[in-house]
Amino acid sequence: MSDILSLSLAGLRARLADRSVSATDAVSSCLERIADTEPAIEALLTVTGEAALTQAQAMDAAGPDASKPLWGVPVVVKDAICTKGVATTCASRILENFVPFYDATCVARLKEAGAILLGKANMDEFAMGSSTENSAFQKTRNPWNLDKVPGGSSGGSGATVAAGQCFAALGTDTGGSIRLPASFCGVTGIKPTYGRISRYGVVAYGSSLDQVGPLARTAEDCAVMLQVMSGHDAKDSTSAPREVPDFAAQTATRKDLKGLRLGLPEEYWGEGLTAEVRACCDQAVDAAKGLGAVVVPVKLPHTKYAIATYYIVAMAEASSNLARFDGVRYGFRHPDAKDLRDLYEMSRSEGFGEEVQRRIVLGTYVLSAGYYDAYYRKAAQVRRLIRQDFLDAFQACDVIVGPTSPFTAFGLGEKADDPLQMYLADIFTISLNLSGLPGLSMPVGLGQESGLPVGLQMFGKAWDEGTILGAANALSGALPQIGMPKI
């Protein structure tokens, strides 16, 4: 691996600024790494190598621009996020040939900041899954062990960062889809507060749950990415008109955890954790204490209802959002349809995969007359109780801490035939989406038995991403570094 690829995003920025590394060098190194590793990992659906090199050469000719915080940095974008002139398929046959004519706001802001797009990352179809095995095109593998999954649905984004193919990637998080891949792949990923980043140009799965966020090697890297993408967008009615703090400064300047109260919810530290996950997370909590943090017990009593609540809400919203993919306006249209009913049935049954169809059917059911009150309305009421649990817990602490997942990355195909077991992979992540609060996953070690990364999750108060980024940055410095996979 070249010296360039061993750099963090922050380290690359410094080298680009002093011209000891050129944008062309950075892009070329990433493309070489993609060529070496991609046949085994299959993290990317599209590679825009020629366009990236052309852009890098033009930038080098003009020279570094200090006003652009991502000048010359190669990044990858999840394939659920629209990119002008580059296919955006959501890893689905129904959008296989869809090429947007515009950029999502988050992508446009990355480009304005000088980032260079390397390609689009594989994912679970329409972001529905926890392993990236539901893609219609390929199954992404975990760079730490090619027989394991990278997590999902942003598994391609997690794997491409972990493998050193790029310096950061965008994911979307509806129920843990940034944090679970970050945990399984040994990188850092953050889901910001709902409304912090515009969803304009992001293909919707669950509109009240989805948020875009970055995956990168360090909290400091994520802070730079988050800083660039955040802010109000008039094109998105759910985008909050709030001032964006200096996340990068908040993160880089925090060196200890003195005065920080860490809440440990008993629901996240009880039965179900594997021994190796508990050991790594306990070590991280001990390190936090050593940095001056005060640990306090907290309770999130409605956590046991989170899975049922989440899947009712998410599937209902998916049923509504995916109704637009009907073979009429864009996407796959079945050539043998004889009338409108045929067009709908044949286009959707062949265009959508099994998991997407399952969620559409269940979502339609819970929204149907006679069942709306029993299911969707009840789920909405429990959702409010789950959010209130967090608000109550934050009366006693500043950050809530727990494992990202009860286990390390599982084997390819291990849970594919049992949807309920697959859904349980999100047990520790989904409550945050139901609450709209920010959360981060950071690597805290390798499991003693599996040798695979273990992630620790930090939940923050609304609009307080800076605190969890700073805490993760300080804690990372007190823990052994896991390095990069030797693929």
Which residue shows structure tokens 């997370």? Answer: 281
From 29, 78, 130, 135, active-site residue: 78
Active site residue 338: no
* Residue 354 dihedral angles phi and psi, to the nearest 5°: -60, -45
Residue 68 CA: distances (Å) to CA of 57, 110, 233, 247: 16, 9, 19, 16
Q: What is d(CA 469, CA 222) in angstroms, rounded to the nearest whole number?
A: 8
Closest CA relative to residue 96, chosen from 361, 363, 357, 347: 347
Three-state DSSP at 47 gives strand
Q: Chain centroid to CA 198: how far?
A: 15
From 22, 28, 135, 153, active-site residue: 153
Active site residue 148: no
DSSP labels for 422-443? HHGGGTTTHHHHHHT--EEEEE
Active site residue 177: yes
Cα-atom radius of gyration of the chain, to the nearest Å?
Answer: 21
297-328 burial: b if 16+ Cβ within 10 Å, else e: ebebebbebbbebbbbbbbbbbbbbbeebbbe
From 157, 177, 431, 441, active-site residue: 177
Would you call 283 exposed, middle or buried from its count of C-beta atoms within 10 A (0-12, 13-18, 19+)?
middle
The strand order across the sheet containing 168-173 reads 44-47, 116-121, 74-78, 168-173, 211-216, 188-191, 439-446, 453-459, 399-403, 261-265, 294-298
Would you call 243 exposed, middle or buried from its count of C-beta atoms within 10 A (0-12, 13-18, 19+)?
exposed
DSSP conformation class of 192: P
Would you call 291 exposed, middle or buried from its count of C-beta atoms within 10 A (0-12, 13-18, 19+)?
middle
Q: What is d(CA 172, CA 95) in angstroms, rounded to the nearest whole number?
A: 18
Q: Which residues are catalytic?
A: 78, 153, 177
